[in-house]
Every structure is written in C-alpha cells, then in structure tokens.
A and B are shown apart, each in its own frame.
Chain A
Amino acid sequence: GENVEQHPSTLSVQEGDSAVIKCTYSDSASNYFPWYKQELGKRPQLIIDIRSNVGEKKDQRIAVTLNKTAKHFSLHITETQPEDSAVYFCAASLYAGNMLTFGGGTRLMVKP
C-alpha cells in the first residue's frame, strides 16, 4: 500500500519568512495530493491540492510543487503570518475522491 512520509515534524519560522514542508510517497500510481491545515482542536481543512498532470499550483501565499519522477511534493508558504500556525498534513491518493494516505503532520509555529 501507499506510504507517505512528511518532514519536518516541527517547524518554527519568524513572521514574514517562508516555510517549506516536504512529503514523499511510495506508490507511483498515486495521482492526487491534497494538503490539510488543522488548527488546535479543529477539523482538518483542505488548503490546496494538486493532481499529477501539473507540476505546480499556487493560491495566494500558498503553493504546492510535485515531482512525480522523484515521488515527492512540497508545500510552500510565503510571507508567513501568526495565523498560519497550525498542523499541516500532506496526503496521497490514487485519485481525488478515493482513500487518502496521510503523512504524519508538521507543526508550524510562526513567531511574531
């Protein structure tokens, strides 16, 4: 089955700096890669996703890149703000709508 590894497990950045979280996956058949943000005690919420037919996707300060050959994908947050502090999960799936395999999560702390 699919295995997703996520690094780092914790990340502390200064407000305004960039943050990068990386994930690797094992199943070359995976084609859908969402990222979720979970604030303390709240539900995970989708912030961005990417399908295998594109290499990069941006949404304001957030971007995701995908390298299918190397089987890794990354989340980039620019100009970080304190409200970006949360746990971020990457995931992989054969296709959107199918079961997700989650990474272990990254706790991002943005210091004012």
Chain B
Amino acid sequence: DADVTQTPRNRITKTGKRIMLECSQTKGHDRMYWYRQDPGLGLQLIYYSFDVKDINKGEISDGYSVSRQAQAKFSLSLESAIPNQTALYFCATSDFGLAGDTQYFGPGTRLTVL
C-alpha cells in the first residue's frame, strides 16, 4: 500500500549504534503502530500511538523508543542496537472513525544488527 511508506527499506548496522526507522502515511489516519517480526514468527507490537500526544508501550518495548512528530509521521529508534533486534519491522496505521478502518501496513524495514 503506497499510502504507508517506511525508510530505510534495508539497514545493516553494528552493535551499539543508534538507529532510527521512519514511517510516513498519507491515509490521514490518526493511529499508528510499530511491529516487529522475527523469521517464521508472528507480529509483536512494540509501540502504538492514537494521536500525536498519545504514545503507548506494546508488548516488547524494551530497547526501543518512538516519536510521533506529526499525524503522518511515527519514528522508531533503537538507542543502542543489539544483534537480537535483527528483524523485519513494520509500521501500520488505522482510522478511528464512525465506521473505523483496519490496520494498513507499510512495506517493512529489514534490519540487521551485526
């Protein structure tokens, strides 16, 4: 879905480095999410934000932080990357309206921590 974009698409970094993953959306959705997916496994929620001033931890937030710079932008940071943070990271958005709208995912960022 081209309405949700993520940068970078691939990133290789070293242990201890700080890294930021960015997500932008043009869907006009209020709510944004960051997920992590390990190979062959399901989706784990890292953080979610229901509006610019509302940020909440998900099930695996340790080692991660987020910033909601605007309605359309939600960034995920790894303050000091470690190898077990090697994974595929997805951003998603959803809309809380009268009918509501499901989550739409970005294309993902493949992160490798050496």
Inter-chain contacts of B105 with A (CB < 8 A): 43-45
Q: Chain B's nearest CB lies how many Å from the CB of A23?
A: 12
Assuming the A-B contacts A43-B1, A49-B102, A97-B97, are A89 and B42 also in contact, with contact meaning beta carbons closer than 8 angstroms in the complex? yes
CA–CA, A112 and B1, complex, Å: 29
Inter-chain contacts of B97 with A (CB < 8 A): 97
Number of A-B contacts (CB under 8 A): 54
Q: Chain B's nearest CB lies how many Å from the CB of A28?
A: 19
Assuming the A-B contacts A34-B102, A44-B90, A46-B104, are A98 and B96 also in contact, with contact meaning beta carbons closer than 8 angstroms in the complex? yes
- Chain A interface size, as a band, is 20 to 34
A11 lies within 8 A of chain B by Cβ = no
Q: Chain B's nearest CB lies how many Å from the CB of A30?
A: 13
For B99, give its contact among A96, A102, A103 (CB under 8 Å): A96
Interface members, chain A 30-54 (any B CB < 8 Å): 32, 34, 41-46, 49
Residues of A within 8 A of B (CB): 32, 34, 41-46, 49, 89, 95-100, 102-105
Q: Quick one: closest A residue to B90, CB to CB?
A: A43
Q: Chain A's nearest CB lies how many Å from the CB of B51?
A: 12
B43 lies within 8 A of chain A by Cβ = yes
CA–CA, A112 and B100, complex, Å: 39
Contact in complex: A97, B95 (CB < 8 Å): yes
Q: Quick one: closest A residue to B93, CB to CB?
A: A97
Q: Quick one: closest A residue to B88, CB to CB?
A: A41
For B42, give its contact among A45, A46, A97, A105 (CB under 8 Å): A105
28 contacts between A and B (CB under 8 A): A41-B108, A42-B107, A43-B90, A43-B107, A44-B43, A44-B105, A45-B1, A45-B105, A89-B42, A95-B100, A96-B99, A96-B101, A96-B102, A97-B31, A97-B95, A97-B97, A97-B101, A97-B102, A98-B94, A98-B100, A99-B45, A99-B48, A102-B42, A103-B42, A104-B41, A104-B42, A105-B41, A105-B42
